[in-house]
Chain A
Amino acid sequence: NAGVMQNPRHLVRRRGQEARLRCSPVKGHSHVYWYRQLPEEGLKFMVYLQKENIIDESGMPKERFSAEFPKEGPSILRIQQVVRGDSAAYFCASSPGLGTKNNSPLHFGNGTRLTVT
């Protein structure tokens, strides 16, 4: 029963490079969420995806950030031309399909700590 798998655990990028963060949800989960956490702060919602669809990207910066959850393979959060302010922990979470149920907790990965130098 593998949980949410995120890799890499730590990622160091120089300003201007691209960062690609991967997330494999719990087997059978069709919903993926990405959150960003700055030190000593809460988790900020970025984007919510289902297979091949972006459902809500209201928390995603309009530029440089993109996310996908293809039919096959992990979900990818991509940050182009990284800047120092992108340094944070990025958490992926998954849940099964909800319907009208609201009691499914999110299952979180251990996060990717991105450091931009």
Chain B
Amino acid sequence: AQKITQTQPGMFVQEKEAVTLDCTYDTSDPSYGLFWYKQPSSGEMIFLIYQGSYDQQNATEGRYSLNFQKARKSANLVISASQLGDSAMYFCAMREVYSSASKIIFGSGTRLSIRP
């Protein structure tokens, strides 16, 4: 069965520092996708970055990069040069291709707070 674990309920980081948000997953499906979403206090879900299980390189999108370690089943989000606007909840998510009818499941989230 698919499972997503985020072990950091909350993090405080100084502005302009880099931050790593942890995510581990479990699946028996050989093909899957990993996603990160941001949820600011206004409540909407914002897609940030995607990593496919067969991708050879780590995904990057602007200040976001995904540290994908397949053997360890981890997909940590790295935010470089953090900004005050990065304060939000961050969710890691996974979709299996062949099982679970392609639904996406989410971790419990990490609340990131950026200090000025």
Contact = CB atoms under 8 A, between A and B. Distances in A.
Interface in A1-57: 31, 33, 35, 41-45, 48, 55-56
B64 to A, nearest CB: 13
Contacts of A42: 91, 106-109
A95 to B, nearest CB: 8
B50 interface: yes
A89 interface: yes
Interface in B73-112: 91, 95-97, 100-109
A31 to B, nearest CB: 8
Nearest to B109: A42
Contacts of B32: 102
Given A56-B100, A56-B101, A106 B47 contact: yes
Given A42-B108, A43-B91, A103-B52, A33 B103 contact: yes
Interface in B40-71: 43-45, 47, 50, 52-53
Interface residues of B, number: 26
Range, interface on chain A: 20 to 34
A35 B103 CA distance: 11
A108 B106 CA distance: 13
19 contacts: A33-B103, A35-B106, A42-B107, A42-B108, A43-B106, A45-B103, A45-B105, A56-B101, A91-B45, A98-B102, A100-B97, A102-B33, A103-B33, A105-B35, A105-B47, A105-B50, A106-B47, A106-B104, A108-B45
